[in-house]
Structure 1
């Protein structure tokens, strides 16, 4: 049995949760609703794409084939293989997994996953950072490296959803994470 919901449907329809008997998924999709109801893929960094095109054209004049090949590959990576969705998956007995899925028009062509066992997880917090003239909020998992140093692993690193989504994810995640892991270093 599973249940997929869009808990913030009115203001953030790209956010959904999936609850099953073995895992809980928090998913942010990379689209925004259009007035006619169709979804539009958000391209996160248009200035990066423009810079890559200029770089490829500059390489075309100096090192024709190598520059063209590298330039086209970078354009394909940033234009055609956009981030489709990012997820945080909680496995209640084991840990959390941070996922990024890239592809083209709904077809997933590559995925990256980082699993964090509860034994290495100190806490999950909402942090803030300056982004230009704005303040951006993000969820971060505080983990321990092999040498005891604290390592930050950002959830939804490419899409950076707005605060209401982060608050919902944070609140629900706290109920699934064992209490013994969230108070280890006093980060709470």
Structure 2
């Protein structure tokens, strides 16, 4: 329900520009929106619980409260955390984590804290084609990637030697993937490297990229292979 198999969206804002996006995000129906909202609330709750746990164990005796040079916002945050720490729930949490060794608590809490911030449920990879300028690949979502830090690369048109479909064995399965041959580089650039969509999508994107970059009649390929 929350994710789906990789599928293709094609966007064509102008005759010389095309964007091909492969994503695991399903259509945003009302049940999916509610499920994603619930998941976001759960992640936010977990984030603050872990943050408060670290505070109760390591920062309750810190000089942050008394230092005159501390930022006022940090002082206000420390004041609220201290108030929460003195509450019955805060004291119960303090007693719960007290027997846990500090190194073990930090070793578990910090990765979980980073995970709640960086992890994205859906993965999206896109290829933007600009005739006369070049192409740009982008990957967002899926740990360790996050929507806040997309992995992008731009390849100028004069550096593009060819756009090809290669095949390789993955276990006992033959997989087809789109590659860009870049002048002056020994290794090819793999498009959609994380999702590696099925052959139908790869062929549709290959036709679309070549149609946008090289062919005069752009309308011949538009709309082929969506889904």
What is the alpha-carbon distance in structure 1 between the residues aligned to residue 131 and residue 125 of structure 2?
19
Judge conservation of contact 2:6–2:195 (CA < 8 Å) in 1.
no
| TM-score normalised by length of structure 2 | 0.52
Give 1:126's aligned residue: 165
Deviations 1:88-129 (A, max 9, x none): 11001100010112279xx93332210000111111111111
Residue 134 (structure 1) shift = 0.9
Residues 1:26 and 2:10 aligned together: no
Task: Give the 3-state SS of the residue equivalent to 1:159 in structure 2.
Answer: coil
Distance change >3 Å, CA 157–CA 77, structure 1 → 2: farther
What is the alpha-carbon distance in structure 2 between the residues aligned to residue 138 and residue 61 of structure 1?
48
Query: More displaced, 86-95 or 107-116?
Result: 107-116
What is the alpha-carbon distance in structure 2 between the residues aligned to residue 157 and residue 61 of structure 1?
41
Identify the match of residue 143 of structure 1 among 182, 202, 222: 182
1:31-70 aligned at under 5 Å gives the runs 31=25, 63-69=103-109
What is the alpha-carbon distance in structure 1 between the residues aligned to residue 117 and residue 192 of structure 2?
19
Mark the runs of 5 or more structure 2 residues left unpaired by the alignment: 37-99, 216-227
What is the alpha-carbon distance in structure 2 between the residues aligned to residue 112 and residue 13 of structure 1?
18
Give 1:172's aligned residue: 208
Which one has a larger percent helix, Structure 1 or Structure 2? Answer: 2
Aligned residues: 142
Mark the runs of 5 or more structure 1 residues left unpaired by the alignment: 1-11, 42-59, 180-188
Judge conservation of contact 1:29–1:85 (CA < 8 Å) in 2.
yes
Deviations 1:42-95 (A, max 9, x none): xxxxxxxxxxxxxxxxxx9894255325532564477x3244311111001100
Which one has a larger percent strand, Structure 1 or Structure 2? Answer: 1
What is the alpha-carbon distance in structure 2 between the residues aligned to residue 74 and residue 131 of structure 1?
31
Q: Which has the higher contact order (CA 8 A, sep 6+)?
A: 2
Judge conservation of contact 1:129–1:136 (CA < 8 Å) in 2.
yes
Identify the match of residue 130 of structure 2 among 77, 88, 91: 91
Deviations 1:21-49 (A, max 9, x none): 2520011111357xxx95999xxxxxxxx
Residues 1:110 and 2:149 aligned together: yes
Give 1:7's aligned residue: none
Deviations 1:145-174 (A, max 9, x none): xxx343311111111111001101101111
What is the alpha-carbon distance in structure 2 between the residues aligned to residue 152 and residue 73 of structure 1?
36
